[in-house]
Amino acid sequence: MDPAYLQRFLSDSARTQTRNEIRELLKLISRADIISLAGGLPSPDAFPIDELKRIIPDTLERYGTSALQYGATEGDVGLRQELLKLMAAQEGGRFREIGIDNILITSASQQALDLCSRVFISTHDAVVCGLPSYLGALGAFTACGAKLSGVLLDDSGMRTDLLEQRLVDLRRRGVRPKMLYVVPDFQNPAGVSLSLERRRELLQIAHEFDLLVIEDSPYRDLRYVGRNPPSLFDLDRDGRVISMFTFSKILFPGLRLGWVVADEEVISRLAVAKQPVDLCTSGLSQVVAREYLKTGGLGSQIARIRKLYSVKREVMLRALDDAMKPEWGVRWTRPEGGLFLWMVLPSWMKSRELFARALEAKIAFVNGDSFHCDGTGDNTLRLNFSFPEPDELRTAAARLAGVIGDMVAEHGESRAAEAPSSEPSPAVLVSGDHSLEQLGWNLALHEVQE
């Protein structure tokens, strides 16, 4: 059908929707000769295939009739009970006090984001998110007509001083956001975590400005260094935090299974919104996950993948430390967990230009501006370290450094040709630690985006 003809039939929402740039990019760079640091894919080595080979046939044998049937929208009762036990043991605190009505099973976290958007966002409602933020969440919010207002992150997660300032500013202009979206643990894309102090401040601010808080936490179990602070849900005393978890990064994303933990009223609203979307989450996935949890094998599975990824993280950081010259002014985060690190280039170097040249060198990453709701971040990029093999990480770091080094040299030559000899050295010298704030990473406050 002619796209122009189809246009007249489209809803307001579909008219404003664009393709998720990263998903499109992943199709482009799936060539075998390219080392991709672009996706957010778990390593196939992380999948518990041997256990699943046992559990899946056994599940069909014993629970086939229920596993293949339609189920309750809220999710399988046995699975929710297993999750309650798991969270009480892993997290403790408030997770020991919740019951089955505080959990909704979803078709993974992406659906939880979609349902929250449907339930809480009307056209033109303001949602506050990080700069940068997970693109899939931004897409879910804007599909329901949200206007996004981005608040800068630094090495300790969202800057709560800027958050408060932003909310005051918005209030002065008559804008009262309903929702704050955060990925507090090893954020996608930046790899940074919200410190305990910031968690408390953020909740205090949410209380003062009466915001619902979405805590999206797919990477919480993937910590390689140090210890997790309590989750926002645990620290919250108002019942305003909606927490989202998923099996995607700890078991396998093809399961398409996640769960939301929140106040009973919130869960009930989300369940109502879920009914017209998919009636219920896949029964087969739920029963497989339930039976898997019953084996008690998740603990060793998580320990195994932590080991796998912590080696890759170390390889990646070492390879970058070795390959990048300090005088180029390129810095990156040193995440304590998760799947990503975030790179900040000198301000004159544009990641899209780097991307084109990196592709010629047969490596790929995601341009950081894709994650910025305000269009900034054109000198940033996200690098994934969970999917490539260690050797590929080393090669990719060396190739990336090669391309960056070429761009620095060319920039130096063009500056030398333009400028009188008294001009300072063109290479941006940044010394000290890896603080993103020091690097001037999006220091501006931004308007709510149209």
Residue 43 contacts residue 309 (beta carbons within 8 Å): yes
Q: Could you say whether residue 442 binds ligand PLP (CB under 6 A)?
A: no
Nearest to 185 by CA among 153, 217, 147: 217
Instruction: List the helix and strand counts (H, then E) for the chain.
Output: 15, 14
Q: Could you say whether residue 248 binds ligand PLP (CB under 6 A)?
A: yes
Beta strands in 247-377 (DSSP E): 258-261, 331-332, 340-344, 363-364, 366-367
Residue 51: CB minimum distance to ligand PLP, A: 20
Amino acid at position 16, single letter = T
Both tokens assigned to 66? 């229920």
Q: Could you say whether residue 188 binds ligand PLP (CB under 6 A)?
A: yes
By C-beta, is 91 or 114 nearer to ligand PLP?
A: 114
The whole-angstrom separation of Cα 285 and Cα 25 is: 28
Collapsed DSSP state (helix, strand, coil) of residue 43: coil
Query: Exposed (0-12), middle (13-18) or buried (19+): which is 308, by Cβ within 10 Å?
Result: middle
Q: Which of residues 23-62 bind ligand PLP (CB under 6 A)?
A: 40
Collapsed DSSP state (helix, strand, coil) of residue 382: strand
Residue 351: CB minimum distance to ligand PLP, A: 19
Residue 215: CB minimum distance to ligand PLP, A: 10
Q: x/- string (CB under 6 A) for ligand PLP, residues 280-319?
A: ----------------------------------------
Residue 350: CB minimum distance to ligand PLP, A: 25
Q: Could you say whether residue 136 binds ligand PLP (CB under 6 A)?
A: yes
* Cα angle 384, 348, 364; round to 5: 25
Q: Could you say whether residue 22 binds ligand PLP (CB under 6 A)?
A: no
Binding residues with ligand PLP: total (CB under 6 A): 14
Q: x/- string (CB under 6 A) for ligand PLP, residues 91-130?
A: -----------------xxx--------------------
Residue 44: CB minimum distance to ligand PLP, A: 15
Residue 337's beta-bridge partner residues? 223
By C-beta, is 105 or 349 nearer to ligand PLP?
A: 105
Residue 450: CB atoms within 10 A of its CB come to: 6
Among 134, 209, 233, 328, interactor with ligand PLP by CB under 6 A: 134
By C-beta, is 382 or 394 nearer to ligand PLP?
A: 382
246: left (phi over 0), alpha (psi -120 to 50) or beta: beta
Q: Could you say whether residue 253 binds ligand PLP (CB under 6 A)?
A: yes
Residue 382 contacts residue 364 (beta carbons within 8 Å): no
Which residues form the interface with ligand PLP (CB under 6 A)?
40, 108-110, 134, 136, 183, 188, 216, 218, 246, 248, 253, 258
